Amino acid sequence: KAGVTQTPRYLIKTRGQQVTLSCSPISGHRSVSWYQQTPGQGLQFLFEYFSETQRNKGNFPGRFSGRQFSNSRSEMNVSTLELGDSALYLCASSEGQGAGEQFFGPGTRLTVL
Amino acid sequence: SQQGEEDPQALSIQEGENATMNCSYKTSINNLQWYRQNSGRGLVHLILIRSNEREKHSGRLRVTLDTSKKSSSLLITASRAADTASYFCGAGTYKYIFGTGTRLKVLA
């Protein structure tokens, strides 16, 4: 099976802009989780989607949002970008909801100037 | 505060030696997973251990879980230069919480 794919791999934006990141899970996986990774904070959980519904959410402002489509692909949107949003954004897929075996994609490196 | 906190933060060993990393967490969990990350790339899944398991092996990897101490350890035996990476544990029930990782450097 193909692994988790994320697009784009690299992105450069300026403050105030918005960005949309995409994640395609492993075929047959219905859960997609998003994480933000920064050198100081490590991996921080953003949210999880299962069957097109957000099931769990981390402690991030409302500027961070997401959605999941019927084919389990997921998108994450960040509006009104801030310098501190520069990070590696990782998505992980798993078969079912919650803390089952998760497989990560290569990530999208977002740089906000 | 982090749910999964790895210890030590950095570890440097010679090729052929064993490397041990520890992970502590704060609340009850269903599963704990260990991952490897090379140079800011995606996380590679190494092993998942469930709360009712005490030990799991996969090749040169050995993971233990002590739910009474809320801790886990990852042992890499006969380390190789290619094992140089950051290692993360994620612990959770309905979602995983990760620490900041252990940076392992294996010297040839």
Predicted confidence (pLDDT) per residue in A53-67, tens digit: 999 899 999 999 999
CB distance B2–A106 less than 8 Å? no
Q: Which residue has the tokens 């957000």?
A: A54
For residue B57, give how far its alpha carbon lies from the nearest alpha carbon of chain A (Å).
16
Q: Chain B neighbours among A 68-87 (CB < 8 Å)? A: none
* pLDDT attached to residue A42: 83
First to last CA, chain B: 36
**Of A36, A34, A22, nearest in space to A112 by CA:** A36
* pLDDT attached to residue B94: 75
| Average pLDDT value for chain A | 93
Residues facing A7 on adjacent strands: A22
What are the tens digits of pLDDT across the range A4-24?
999 999 999 999 999 999 999
What are the tens digits of pLDDT across the range B66-82?
999 999 999 999 999 99
B33 Cβ under 8 Å from any chain A Cβ: yes
pLDDT at B51 over 90: yes
Residues facing B88 on adjacent strands: B35
A12 Cβ under 8 Å from any chain B Cβ: no
* pLDDT attached to residue B1: 38
B4 Cβ under 8 Å from any chain A Cβ: no
H or E segment to which residue B14 belongs = strand B10-14
pLDDT at A99 over 80: no
For residue A40, name the pLDDT band (cuts at 50, 70, 90). Answer: confident
